[in-house]
Amino acid sequence: MEIDFLETRKIGFIGAGNMCHALVSGFVKKAGFKPENLFISAPSNRNLGRFAEMGCMVTNCNEDLLPGNKFSCTVIFLCVKPSVAKKCSKTNPFLVYNGNEPLIIISVLAGVTLKKLYQVICDRSFNEDLKMGKIYIYRIMPNTACSVGKGICGICHCLLGDTFDESVKSLLSMISYCEFVTEEQLNAIAGVGGSGIAFVYTFIQAMADGAVKMGLQRHIALNFAIQTFLGAALMAEQSSKHLIELRDEVCSPSGTTIHGIHALERNAVSSGIIDAVESATKRAEEFGRDQI
């Protein structure tokens, strides 16, 4: 069963935070979606203005998004924080959905398993009986680079089967590099991609600071640091060589680069990055245990 998201489907978003904004921006600016086919719900108007400015429809009532209601979306992204989902579990709008049309829910809640999502959304534990239902839940882990069409997105298969797998991946591939992973692996995607983009920003800032320390003006230093990352990422993507081989090609004997690499190793930068990914992954796991 294929869904033509671009031409015929209305897509809803519950939650109006930064991740929602990144997804909506990517769909509008990079994937070519019509903003009037994107609908955003939040309990207050605090974050809804930026979506309205893009031409999206906004509401304070989550039920408006459901099929058969005001906006009648058949795909809904759940973009709230895990703690918010817990507070809303007794009044969530999906409990009132009795339509015949399949409803696809795509959750970005870090660490919250599919079985827990079914428990919250369908008000009962997942079991075989739910295979007769019409709510199909996917978990994803994107990052904010979706806003420029260069995001990453791990996708976890729906417990009800693979009916909509290709449609969901096709949708998300418009704004990100996507891969299906096991649910156990999704937390690691949060560490390397979801949170990892912030680690890259930190590295870029540090490189620019170093260049300023050595005499470059701030704007020049920052632009060179950014372009260095862009160029390195593109070479890593397009080359069949191992990253260490690409690095060694820059390291002339007794040259500037090997001295810099030595400084990185002396300060345990590689170990620090590994620790950062591990810490972010473990925190994602904690969300699932503690917040719903």
List residues forming the annotated binding site.
14-19, 62
Could you tell me the maximum CA-CA distance found in the chain, to the nearest angstrom? 71
DSSP-derived letter for residue 135 is E
Assess whether pLDDT exceeds 60 at residue 90.
no
CATH architecture of 5-181: 3-Layer(aba) Sandwich (3.40)
pLDDT at residue 4, rounded to an integer:
54
Segment 204-211 mean pLDDT: 97
Cα separation, 41 vs 47, in Å, equals: 10
The Cα 192–Cα 196 span in angstroms is: 5
Residue-wise pLDDT for 250-266, tens only, equals: 999 999 999 999 999 99
**pLDDT value at 67 more than 50:** yes
Per-residue DSSP letters for 153-207? Answer: EEEE--TT-STTHHHHHHHHHTTEEEEEE-HHHHHHHIIIIITHHHHHHHHHHHH
How far apart CA 120 and CA 52 sit, in angstroms, is: 29
pLDDT more than 70, % of the chain = 86
pLDDT per residue over 151-183, tens digit each?
A: 999 999 998 888 899 999 999 999 999 999 999
Which DSSP state fits 76? Answer: E
pLDDT band at 88 (very low <50, low <70, confident <90, very high): low
pLDDT digits (tens, 9 = 90+) for 2-16: 445 545 578 999 999
**Token couple for 4:** 């033509």
pLDDT digits 0-9 by tens, 119-159: 878 766 666 555 545 789 999 999 999 999 999 999 999 98
SS3 assignment, position 245: helix
b (16+ CB within 10 A) / e for 148-162: eeebbbbbbbbbbee
pLDDT at 290: 59
- Known binding residues for NADP(+) are 14-19
Per-residue pLDDT, 124: 63
Binding site listing for NADPH: 62
Pick among 1.10.275.10, 1.10.3730.10, 1.20.120.160, 1.10.1040.10: CATH of 196-281: 1.10.3730.10
User: Is the pLDDT assigned to residue 53 strictly greater than 90?
Assistant: yes
Q: Give the H/E segment covering residue 7.
A: helix 5-8
β pairing state of 38-41 and 151-156: unpaired
Domain ranges in the chain? 5-181, 196-281
Contact 137, 158 (CB under 8 A): yes
